[in-house]
Structure 1
Amino acid sequence: MAVSRTIFIAGAGIGGLTAALALAAKGFRVVVLEKAERLEEAGAGLQLSPNASRILVELGLSERLRRGAVTPEAVSIMSTRAGGELLRLPLGEAAVARAGAPYWVVHRADLQAALAAQVQDHPDIDLRLGATFEDVAAHARGLTVVHRIGNSRQSDVASVLIGADGIWSTVRQHLFPEVQPRFSGLIAWRGTFEATQLPKEYTSRRVQLWMGPGAHLVAYPIAGGRQINVVAIVPGTWNRPGWSTPGDPFELMDAFPAPRWPGPARMMLKAVDSWRKWALFGVPEGCEWSKGSIALLGDAVHAMLPFAAQGAGMAIEDAAVLAQHLGGNATESAASIAAALKQYGRARRARVRQVQRTARQQGQIYHLTGPLALARDLAIRALGPERMLARQDWIYSWKL
């Protein structure tokens, strides 16, 4: 018996919306369930390296993204031990020439809004806000997906269900209840300030990575360069779930004391009026990617530390690979769907694990102290910009 050509996606985040566009481009009808009544900003800025931007360009999002995205000219690697910049890695046109796609920094809300606008313009995608995924059952015609909108409970037939519903995924809980997120012992603080608040040397079009003893911070322009996004990473025991808990600025500044942290870094931290914090959790590497006609995508299956700036990038890659494996004749039967989803997981597992491990290792390197921090700084300077960039080629140059 032929199965439905309808695919349900739980979650209208970056991964879910990208998957909807990629699957619709393969001829599927897609329904996206999002429990939020409105798509609102969760988090602040993010980095889209060429491996991710290439996919968004191919999905036709260039014009929508260029309105808010910033193309940074460089990444400045800064060390508190050295008191300033160790190395500057060229981006901008150099990134396009090297990897064939732009390196963008963008407000998460701007990216989500661009994806949502593209989704809403597509005749084969149905975005249902205020729709909470509740249950799924397999049968001869495919799947019955149950969701709730307000007081109304609705059931629909689909060929595939994709869980793109984040680290606390309800779909993953349904499939693999034994897989639980793990707290990393680190807390991320985020905030923004207007670029006009500080001199241009603090707010130029570059990504600044400040490495220090037990903590680090990243700053870069968003919103067309009008704002600076700041993310500070510190150790701690506070581990409540969520993305947007208000944070006490005095508590944060205590983690970045003078003279250990130079004036330019502290000045950026002080420029932020309102801080939000979230505990950094990860999903264990052994999580399965699919079961039958149900698969996971993005943070639901591989939430990782943000120290490789690839959380969004890996979700976007997942979406493209998933669409590739489900395209063609892969949905002629439940068995062929299950096989295609297994192939999708096998195609993604090794690369994502390598990125997860790279992120953990980089976080450890950023936080070194004493002689190890000195050795790190000397090694970075010795490598130079070209060799440092070459170490990222395996991430940035990825293509389908």
Structure 2
Amino acid sequence: MANILIAGGGIGGLAAALGLAGRGHRVTVLERREEFTELGAGIQLGPNAFHALDLLGVGAQVRDRAVYIDELRLMDGTTDEPIASMPLTCDYRTRFGNPYAVVQRCDVYEPLLEGCRRHPRIELRGGRSVVGYEQRGQGSGEVTAVLADGERLTGAALIGADGIRSAVRRQLVGDGEPRISGHTIYRTVVPVEQVPQELRWNTVTLWAGPKWHFVHYPIGGGAFLNLAATRDDGTQVAVVGRPAEREHVLATFPELGETARRLLELGRDWKSWVLCDRDPVDVWTDGRVALLGDAAHPMLQYAAQGACQALEDAVVLAESLDCCEDTVVQRLEKYSAARRERTARTQLVAREIGRRLYHPAGELARERNALLTSLSAEEMYDEVAWLHGADFV
């Protein structure tokens, strides 16, 4: 079996390492940070994510940490009136074969990391930033990862799982900086004991308003409430994790209704990001190099599928590379072909969800409300079946 290099030790990179090692390959994960850690607060996991986690051998560990919510709930953020909800309990789980849950990012990352650390065919190397790669042609049988300090490591394949500003993608695709969405998101986490009892809902609740929305849900086994408020403010300057004053956050959402404002006011240590993504591309491979996760298909958070799609990538990549070294190039092309259409659709749907479901005003908002209220639970399941189902493998 082959020696495979992975640039990036996030959720996607570790998932790929587990999947590939499970197929008999030796894997070296190269992470730019000295320590293998995962930053960030809450994420949502659809049934498709749990299906992938099960295939990677860590589904049980993630389930032990997850919060299984009762419904996805859309509210009018200015009037406090309900718009629609999608139940996520018995019928939903029967339909899709797995639950829908919310977790802290570390609740996914740490089981993957522990699985990699235990696996005899996986080597984790921190402080190794991949800045590019070299190939002498597809017939050479190898690719070389070039590190920031000048070190060169050679393997049968290189997987670029190094995020939205991927150095591997920069060389492979060359499409410049990410697309700035013009949406600023403010995030914080609140201990649940600070949340009034009547507001401790076991739901993902989204309050929608004109050019803004506010979402919250429990994480950390129910010990915390994750808050995220987004404003379509047109900004075109990238921001990553900048501290934001509480007064500024509250002033950014003056139209919030009474209940939503009570929840927003619970936040203290806010940080802000300007959301970015990229347009879908048809080319994910270059000989023995392929992209995965945000390096391949970075998307806005509005479909709650970024981590889910990276986990799917890892499973399909491992299945595609169940082979010997002399077919790696063809197998990577097979992986890319299997994933491009689905992930491109998810990227574009995520953009549309922000525009058409979360941020419309006036007549467009009334049309949204009429459409959603006309759907039964089963019809809602039909709408998300292509995304939440397990038929990606």
TM-score, normalised relative to structure 1? 0.92
Shift of 1:238: 4.2
Q: Distance in 2 between matches of 1:288 and 1:61?
A: 30
Shift in Å, 1:287 = 5.3
Identity %: 37
Residue 220 of structure 1 is aligned with which of 217, 220, 226?
Answer: 217
Letter in 1 for 2:224: Q
CA distance in 1, matches of 2:133, 2:345: 32
Letter in 2 for 1:385: A
Deviation sequence 1:91-144 (CA, Å, 0-9, x none):
134332110112121101221112111111111111111111133222424112
Question: Would the alpha carbon gap of residues 393 and 6 (structure 1) be closer, same or farther in structure 2, given more than 3 Å must change?
Answer: same
Asked whether the equivalents of residues 287 and 301 of structure 1 are also in contact (C-alpha less than 8 Å), the reply is no
Cα distance in 2 between the residues matched to 1:129 and 1:242: 25
Question: Which residue is 1:26 aligned to?
Answer: 23
Matched residue, 2:142: 142
Q: Secondary structure in 2 aligned to 1:172? A: helix
Distance 1:316 1:44 in 2: 18
Which residue number corresponds to residue 331 of structure 2? 340
2:89 to 89, 92, 102: 92
User: Which aligned pairs between 1:270-281 and structure 2 lie closer than 5 A?
Assistant: 270-281=265-276
76, 83, 103: which one aligns with 2:73: 76
Cα pair 2:80 2:260 within 8 Å, conserved: no
283, 294, 300: which is aligned to 1:299? 294
User: Is the Cα contact below 8 Å between 2:56 and 2:315 reproduced in 1?
Assistant: no
- Cα separation, 1, equivalents of 2:343 and 2:103: 22
Which of the numbers 377, 388, 400 marks the counterpart of 2:380? 388
AA of the residue aligned to 2:381: L
Q: 2:63 aligns with which of 54, 58, 66?
A: 66
- Offset, 1:192: 0.8
SS in 1 for 2:49: helix
The match for 2:340 among 344, 349, 365 is 349
For residue 303 of structure 2, what is the aligned residue in structure 1?
Answer: 308
Question: What amino acid is aligned across from residue 180 of structure 1 in structure 2?
Answer: E
Cα distance in 2 for residues equivalent to 1:275 and 1:201? 23
Q: Residues of 2 paired with 1:227 and 1:301: CA distance?
A: 32
Amino acid at match of 1:223: G
Residue correspondence of structure 1 range 1-400 to structure 2 within 5 A:
5-80=2-77, 82-139=79-136, 140-147=140-147, 153-241=150-238, 243-257=240-254, 260-286=255-281, 288-329=283-324, 331=325, 333=326, 336-365=327-356, 366-399=358-391, 400=393
Say if 1:239 and 1:16 are closer, same or farther in 2 by CA, change over 3 A: farther
Mapped partners of 2:294, 2:201: distance in 1: 31
* TM superposition shift of 1:241: 4.1
Going from structure 1 to structure 2, the CA distance change for 1:81 and 1:390 (only over 3 Å counts) comes to farther
Q: What is the letter of the counterpart of residue 301 of structure 1?
A: A
SS of 1:391's partner is helix
Task: For residue 239 of structure 1, report the CA deviation from its aligned partner.
Answer: 4.6
Could you tell me whether the CA contact under 8 Å between 1:191 and 1:229 is conserved in 2?
A: yes
Evaluate the alpha carbon distance shift between residue 156 and residue 255 of structure 1 in structure 2; reply closer, same or farther with a 3 A threshold.
same
Q: Mean Cα displacement is larger for which, 231-240 or 15-24?
A: 231-240
Which amino acid is the alignment partner of residue 367 of structure 2?
A: A
Distance in 1 separating the partners of 2:78 and 2:15: 41
| Structure 1 unmatched ranges of 5 or more | none
Give the CA deviation at 1:204.
Answer: 2.1
How many pairs does the alignment contain?
A: 388
CA drift of 1:57 comes to 1.7
Name the Cα RMSD after superposition: 1.8
Provide the rounded CA distance (Å) in 1 between the counterparts of 2:53 and 2:223: 23
Contact 2:211/2:360 (8 A) holds in 1 = yes
Specify the code of the residue in structure 2 equivalent to 1:379.
L
Q: Are 1:187 and 1:238, in contact at CA under 8 Å, matched by a contact in 2?
A: yes
Q: What per-residue deviation string (whole Å, max 9, x for no partner) do you get for residues 238-295 of structure 1?
A: 45545321122222222211xx321221111111111111111111222521111001
Q: Is the 8 A contact 1:50 1:95 kept in 2?
A: no
Q: Report if the CA contact (8 A) 1:81-1:374 is conserved.
A: no
SS state of the match for residue 68, structure 2? coil
Structure 1 CA distance for aligned equivalents of residues 52 and 351 of structure 2: 25
Provide TM-score, normalisation by structure 2: 0.94
In the aligned structure 2, how far is the partner of 1:228 from the partner of 1:92?
20
Cα deviation, residue 15, structure 1: 0.8
8 Å contact 1:51–1:395 — kept in the other structure?
Answer: yes
